């Protein structure tokens, strides 16, 4: 009987140790579940943030395409104007005008009394 009672006490001690271990594991399990819930909330928050960022990126990509179209249009206008300017520079009228200005600047240099006098004479002659 003594041996059975000792084994019974041993079994009860072992049972109480197991119950304590189970309670400890249940506490840890609740902790982990709380952590999982927190992580899931953070994950949902990050996914929402990510979708907002993706939407912003799509918006910026649309703006970028618009800007590229505008740039292409402006480059075409620039090429047209450069072609027009080249045409003007190669024209006979432009060459004649440059020749006139060179001759005028030789005969009437800038900031001289001669040039100032000619300007006054010209303004008197052109007044009505």
Reply yes or no on whether the pLDDT at 113 is more than 90. yes
Token look-up 């019974």 returns 8
DSSP per-residue codes, 89-120 = HTSHHHHHHHHHHHHHHHHS-TT-HHHHHHHH
pTM of full prediction above 0.85: no
State how far the Cα of 68 lies from the Cα of 61, in Å rounded to an integer: 10
Reply yes or no on whether the pLDDT at 128 is more than 70. no
């Amino acid at each position: 009987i003594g041996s059975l009672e000792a084994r019974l006490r041993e079994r009860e001690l072992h049972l109480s140790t197991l119950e304590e271990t189970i309670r400890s594991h249940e506490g840890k399990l609740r902790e982990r579940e709380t952590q999982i819930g927190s992580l899931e909330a953070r994950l949902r928050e990050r996914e929402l943030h990510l979708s907002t960022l993706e939407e912003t990126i799509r918006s910026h990509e649309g703006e970028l395409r618009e800007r590229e179209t505008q740039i292409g249009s402006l480059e075409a206008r620039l090429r047209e104007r450069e072609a027009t300017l080249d045409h003007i520079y190669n024209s006979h009228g432009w060459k004649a005008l440059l020749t006139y200005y060179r001759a005028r600047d030789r005969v009437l240099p800038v900031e001289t009394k001669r040039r100032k006098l000619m300007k006054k004479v010209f303004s008197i002659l052109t007044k009505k």
